Structure 1
């Protein structure tokens, strides 16, 4: 299936010309191995993929015994993989490189040799267990890979016209009209259910059967849970508790993760490592509270206040079904027929978080207490769902799934921080319209932000 990251790989090959290796990070099953192998097959005279999950001891030992003699290491690697290496026209792929950090450390010397290109893929790249006792090569460029976005989902369905039409109307600020809007919204809702995991998308493209897709997604969730149990080490119970609690926390009105819901004595300091593990694994997207909507969102980040979103909305749908609050068919019908209840608005907010992350945004939201006309401060906390950087200004994004598009928090923010804010958006299930400084966008136009 066509992936946008492929064009970035081609660009890397052209611009790097062997001077750097490329490290692709991503959650398991997002298609890293598939796309780099496709890239090697199409763009080089030869390629070899070494999967360190099952590589032979003889191959692994090359990066211990022969790293002092790179020409000999490469000759042995060519022989052991029965692959003819062509100078400046062979790609060597280290798949699941976190399983054998010595190979990652050797990248420095392999790149200095200069004869071949190197791509590494992996997950949990940065956690201590996967980097201890090695020197991280400075010759490494990093690229993150996410589940398939809405446009890639459309491509898999054989649809190459929907997203270009969406972008055209976004840029012109022209409504789409009832027929076009309904068609695009229906496709986007199907994407919310299926999600962007390539195996799930492939199943839906071939069968159009949500039940078959559900089985695929549950296999992926089981794999993630096994990873937590196997890889999270001493923190596996806390990490598992965090992961399992995400649907319930997102079903709350404010969606802020409250550690006390899973541990009555829960403190951020006790859960910092599990939170970091989930973030580094990329199965979760973390949205931090920024205390001020300024260009320095990260500097104003409040680490102890956050929302945890699933990296893939389709998996969130499956986890919500597993919680037993609604049946599989009830959730599907509610999503497809725009009958999302308040607690099910988590699917819409999650898919927005997923799209913003895929578009390169770090995730932030903003909470505050309004100042009344008499000078007193409201006791009720207000919130804006997302803050994103657009050029030198900050744009605020609100997600609305019900009939009401009331946005008093956004209005207040726009009034107080008018000099710092650019265009602000309300994402909803209706057609595009503009009112004053606000742009109301159908939710599928999040692909344009």
Structure 2
């Protein structure tokens, strides 16, 4: 059984939620499976409707004049009785029905049943949801398995993870044997990635060729969606997606628009990049002009790196011989793009706003994030010379930035050198903002009135 961290959120809604709940994300990341699993385990009666498998439901929803009529229609098409106040209605693939938000609002206000939904961002119509006033709808974004979810699925005991987290917090080196095994798991993650079907196939067979077939199938599904939207909106989605591996393999990983068409401007392709981002199949990391708080103020959306939503899908573009060389940690293989792709995934899954910094005078920082209210640069090193980082040194010396520390993530063990914190690359799974425990603030206006 592959446990997902989103399960906690879904179970919490099933137990206590009153508003509608939407679990969203890219294709093939396990949304439908997770909701079904949670509903079955909960013991609550539920019924499932799927807008792709049951296209007639679109007309059923659209034709109803009010909530009462819609509920009557639902009860007619339901295969079992609906128990008022008990049955949970699961609506799947809701991107097939654009007016779902309006309809759900009236159903929630009616209060007869509760509603949980799933939708794929490959139906970019879900953008309508994010721009609508949805105080009656809780939205949770789901992603492929992150590294912590992956190692748990692979059999790593929770006490080992807790021990590693303690080392991360206390900055104590990890035992050499454990460090070596964690690197083995990390390199396996580079190949298998976090798409649930690929992980399940690997755990069942240990056959990387079968894993590769899963990746190929998923990419074909993505490209099918690309072709549909390219025809309707004259986009270049497949050209961009196909160019991404080569772009990430360059020393400067910034996406070069000339790879699509010579002389192409960002304005002409802006909607394409936004589509890939909103569809959950690509992760843009935007440039900032200064590593100073708040980072978003100096964001430049014309300059960006474009990563895959899942490192396994990126590695699937490589030959089998290269994959084996990666697993064997052969020095001839440059894993820089793969290491950075994992970091981009992890930061997104942890809800970080991720950026990179590049200056002609100072050089480039791979990633810059805000961590617990401070600017923290991240340098990602896949080779043995991970202590060479002139750009980072330049930034740390710049007193205008007031950066207190930076992380260098590599194959090396934990080590501290001044403001430089060297961490094993697998410890990216612990780089999270501390949750605020007290956010209550009451202003004192005594003395300003009668």
How many residues align? The count is 427
Is residue 445 from structure 1 mapped to residue 427 from structure 2 by the alignment?
yes
Partner of 2:381: 400
Partner of 1:337: 329
Please report the TM-score for the alignment, with normalisation by the length of structure 2.
0.89
Q: 1:64 to 1:207 in 2, by over 3 A?
A: same
CA contact (8 A) 1:24 1:145 kept: yes
Is residue 53 from structure 1 mapped to residue 80 from structure 2 by the alignment?
no
Partner of 2:343: 352
In the TM superposition, residue 135 of structure 1 has moved relative to its aligned partner by 6.0
Paired with 2:97 and 2:295, the residues of 1 have a C-alpha distance of 36
What SS does the corresponding residue of 2:365 show, helix, strand or coil? strand
CA contact (8 A) 2:123 2:279 kept: no
- Tell me the alpha carbon deviations over residues 56-105 of structure 1, each in whole angstroms, 9 at most, x when there is no partner: 41x3223122241x233223313312233333432212211111112332
In the TM superposition, residue 9 of structure 1 has moved relative to its aligned partner by 1.6
The residue correspondences of 1:17-36 to structure 2 (distance < 5 A) are 17-18=17-18, 20-36=19-35
RMSD: 2.1
In the TM superposition, residue 282 of structure 1 has moved relative to its aligned partner by 0.5
Q: 1:74 to 1:234 in 2, by over 3 A?
A: closer
- Tell me the alpha carbon deviations over residues 122-161 of structure 1, each in whole angstroms, 9 at most, x when there is no partner: 12378469749x9664422221100011121122223223
Unaligned runs of 5+ in 1: 322-326, 372-381
Partner of 1:7: 8
In the TM superposition, residue 115 of structure 1 has moved relative to its aligned partner by 2.8
Partner of 2:445: none
Paired with 2:216 and 2:293, the residues of 1 have a C-alpha distance of 39
Paired with 1:389 and 1:296, the residues of 2 have a C-alpha distance of 8
Please report the TM-score for the alignment, with normalisation by the length of structure 1.
0.90
Paired with 1:188 and 1:364, the residues of 2 have a C-alpha distance of 23
Is residue 223 from structure 1 mapped to residue 221 from structure 2 by the alignment?
yes
- Further displaced range: 270-279 or 414-423: 414-423
In the TM superposition, residue 388 of structure 1 has moved relative to its aligned partner by 1.1
Unaligned runs of 5+ in 2: 432-450
Partner of 1:324: none
Q: 1:217 to 1:262 in 2, by over 3 A?
A: same
Is residue 160 from structure 1 mapped to residue 161 from structure 2 by the alignment?
no
Paired with 2:419 and 2:380, the residues of 1 have a C-alpha distance of 17
CA contact (8 A) 1:125 1:131 kept: no
Partner of 1:103: 100
- Tell me the alpha carbon deviations over residues 387-440 of structure 1, each in whole angstroms, 9 at most, x when there is no partner: 111121111100001111211111111221565434310000111111111110
What SS does the corresponding residue of 1:39 show, helix, strand or coil? helix
